[in-house]
Amino acid sequence: MAFGKRIGLKGFTYKGGGQMLAWLLHRIGGLAMIIFVGMHVLASFSMQQFGSTWGTAINRVYESWQFQIVLVFFVLFHALNGTRIIILDLWPRFLKYQREATWIEWIILLPVYGMSVFITIQRLLKGG
């Protein structure tokens, strides 16, 4: 019991709304970046110390366009959501506009992400 209340599994239920989605995507974005950096370090270490093809196989995974498109989304979202959180933490009087701040975040994210996907696919089609 935490402070005399029984919480149980009710604390893990989805409550809906953009704020919960932003919270979830922010955590997934952080995890995606940790996985990317871990794969990069592991591949570099493997190739440098052992000269193994295992490191090359890992490189192929994180250099693939599919992995990069997903990673770019999470990195951009994590950065913009973090900026929104910082702004709302520094100026608490704007907390009443949290929903609008989330909409602004998505309005900025979608065109920037769309342009990065467009550039990635364009490079892929050119063979680069």
- Domain CATH number, residue 76: 1.20.1300.10
The model's pLDDT over 11-50, given as tens digits with 9 standing for 90+, comes to: 666 666 778 888 889 999 999 999 999 999 988 888 888 7
User: At a CB cut-off of 8 Å and minimum separation 6, what does 59 contact?
Assistant: 43, 47
Place of tokens 């922010």: 26
Count of domains for the chain: 1
The model's pLDDT over 78-115, given as tens digits with 9 standing for 90+, comes to: 999 999 999 999 998 998 998 899 999 999 999 999 99
Q: Rounded to whole angstroms, how far apart are CA atoms 97 and 19?
A: 12
Q: Is residue 6 part of a domain?
A: no
Q: Is residue 35 part of a domain?
A: yes
Q: Is residue 10 part of a domain?
A: no
Q: Rounded to whole angstroms, how far apart are CA atoms 75 and 53?
A: 28
Q: Rounded to whole angstroms, how far apart are CA atoms 60 and 64?
A: 6
Q: Is residue 4 part of a domain?
A: no
User: What residues make up the domain containing 63?
Assistant: 17-126
Q: Is residue 102 part of a domain?
A: yes
Is this model's pTM higher than 0.75 or not?
A: yes
